[in-house]
C-alpha cells in the first residue's frame, strides 16, 4: 500500500513563521487555561478520601447524599461511576478529620442502609503525601527536560537541543491545556503519560534531526531551508505511520482499558498529535531560526576540509 507514489514535496518551511506564531499563541492560550481554569487535580495530588462502591441495583444519588449527610458528611461529592449502580464518593481533605478513619465511617454509613454494597476501592491520601507527590512530579519533569537537552546537545548540537526542548515544553503545555479545557482528572497516571509523551515527542524530533544532519552533510549545494524541507518530507510517511500505530493502541486503551487509564490514554492520544506537529514546526523550525548550518554538524576534521576554498 502506498500513501504517496514518491517522496512528497510539501514546502513545510514556507509556513515556518506562521507556525511559530500560531504555536506561540496557542501555548499562551493553554497557559491561561491552566492558570485560570485550573487543572482538575485528582486525590493523588490534593489529598482527601475517595470511595468507590457498587450496589446490587441502580441507586439514586440524592438518597446516598442524604445518607452521608446524616452521617455528618455534608460536603461529600457523590457521582455515578461507569454505571447507575456504581458510585464514586469524594471527600475533600479536612483539617480536623483528615485520617484514614473517614473512609471506614463512610463505608459504615452506607452499609447501614444497604447490606448488598460491595467495596470496589478506597483511596485516602494525606495532605503531606499529596504535596510531596506534587513536588516530586515537578522535579521529575524538570530532570527529564534537562536529561533530554543534554543528550541532544551531546549527539547533535545546542541549536537542535534548544529546538527539541522547546518542542517538548510546548507539547507538555498543550496537553496540560487540553486536560484543563476538558476537565480531565490529573492523577499520578496522567503524570506518567506526560513523561511518556516527553519521550515520544523527542523521538519524533530526533528522527527528523537525524535526517537533517545526514542531508546537510551529504547534499552540500542546497540551501539549509531546502535541506530541512527535504528531510521533513522524507520522514513524513514514517511519522504518519508511527502516529497511526500509536493512536491505534491508545484507542484500544481508551475504549477497553477502563477508568484507571482513561485520563492516561486521553492525554497521550492528544499528545501524539501535538508531538507530530511540534517536531516539524517547533523543534526543526526553531533550530533553523537559530541558524543551524552545515558547519555546526560536521566532525572537526571534516570541517577544515570543508572550509577550504
Q: Answer whether 189's CB lies under 8 Å from 45's CB.
A: no
Residues 137-196 close enough to bind another protein by CB under 8 A: 137, 139-140, 143-144, 147-148, 151-152, 155, 188-189, 191-192, 195-196
Residue 28 touches another protein, criterion: CB under 8 A: no
Cα–Cα nearest to 283, from 146, 143, 157: 157
**Residue 140 exposure: Cα atoms within 13 Å on the Cβ side:** 16
Residue 85 touches another protein, criterion: CB under 8 A: no
Task: Name beta bridge partners: 86.
Answer: 54
Residue 118: Cβ within 10 Å count = 11
Residue 84 touches another protein, criterion: CB under 8 A: no
Residue 129 touches another protein, criterion: CB under 8 A: yes
Residues 52-81 close enough to bind another protein by CB under 8 A: 52, 54
Radius of gyration of the chain (CA): 25
CB of 309 to another protein, least distance (A): 31
Do the strands 48-54 and 83-91 form a parallel or antiparallel pair, or are they unpaired? antiparallel
Q: Which stretch binds another protein (CB under 8 A): 26-34, 93-101, 176-184, 284-292?
A: 93-101
State how far Cα 263 lies from the chain centre. 10
Q: Answer whether 10's CB lies under 8 Å from 55's CB.
A: no
CB of 90 to another protein, least distance (A): 14
Residue 104 touches another protein, criterion: CB under 8 A: yes
Count residues near another protein (CB under 8 A): 79
Angstrom distance (rounded) from CA 112 to CA 90: 19
Q: Which is nearer to another protein, 33 or 149 (CB)?
A: 149
Residues 234-263 close enough to bind another protein by CB under 8 A: 234-235, 237-238, 241-242, 244-253, 255-258, 260-261
Amino acid at each position: 500500500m502506498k500513501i504517496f507514489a514518491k517522496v512528497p514535496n510539501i514546502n513545510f518551511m514556507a509556513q515556518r513563521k506562521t507556525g511559530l506564531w500560531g504555536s506561540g499563541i496557542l501555548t499562551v492560550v493553554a497557559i491561561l487555561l491552566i492558570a485560570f481554569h485550573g487543572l482538575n487535580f485528582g486525590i493523588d495530588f490534593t489529598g482527601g478520601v475517595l470511595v468507590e462502591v457498587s450496589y446490587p441495583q441502580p441507586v439514586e444519588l440524592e438518597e446516598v447524599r442524604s445518607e452521608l449527610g446524616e452521617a455528618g458528611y455534608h460536603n461529600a461529592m457523590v457521582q455515578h461511576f461507569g454505571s447507575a449502580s456504581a458510585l464514586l464518593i469524594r471527600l475533600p481533605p479536612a483539617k480536623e478529620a483528615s485520617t484514614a478513619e473517614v473512609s471506614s465511617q463512610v463505608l459504615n454509613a452506607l452499609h447501614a442502609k444497604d447490606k448488598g454494597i460491595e467495596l470496589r476501592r478506597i483511596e485516602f491520601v494525606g495532605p503531606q503525601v499529596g504535596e510531596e507527590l506534587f513536588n516530586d512530579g515537578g522535579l521529575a519533569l524538570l530532570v527529564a527536560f534537562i536529561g533530554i537537552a543534554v543528550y541532544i546537545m551531546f549527539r547533535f548540537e545546542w541549536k537542535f537541543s534548544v529546538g527539541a526542548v522547546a518542542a517538548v515544553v510546548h507539547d507538555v503545555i498543550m496537553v496540560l491545556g487540553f486536560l484543563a479545557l476538558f476537565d480531565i482528572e490529573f492523577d499520578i497516571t496522567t503524570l506518567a503519560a506526560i513523561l511518556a509523551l516527553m519521550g515520544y515527542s523527542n523521538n519524533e524530533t530526533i528522527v527528523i534531526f537525524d535526517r537533517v544532519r545526514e542531508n546537510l552533510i551529504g547534499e552540500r549545494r542546497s540551501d539549509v531551508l531546502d535541506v530541512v524541507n527535504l528531510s521533513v518530507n522524507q520522514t513524513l510517511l514514517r511519522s504518519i505511520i508511527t502516529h497511526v500505530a500509536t493512536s491505534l493502541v491508545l484507542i484500544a486503551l481508551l475504549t477497553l482499558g477502563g477508568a484507571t487509564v482513561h485520563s492516561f490514554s486521553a492525554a497521550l492520544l492528544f499528545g501524539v498529535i501535538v508531538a507530530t506537529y511540534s517536531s516539524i514546526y517547533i523543534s526543526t523550525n526553531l533550530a533553523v531560526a537559530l541558524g543551524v548550518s552545515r558547519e555546526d554538524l560536521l566532525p572537526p576534521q571534516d570541517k577544515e576540509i570543508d572550509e577550504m576554498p
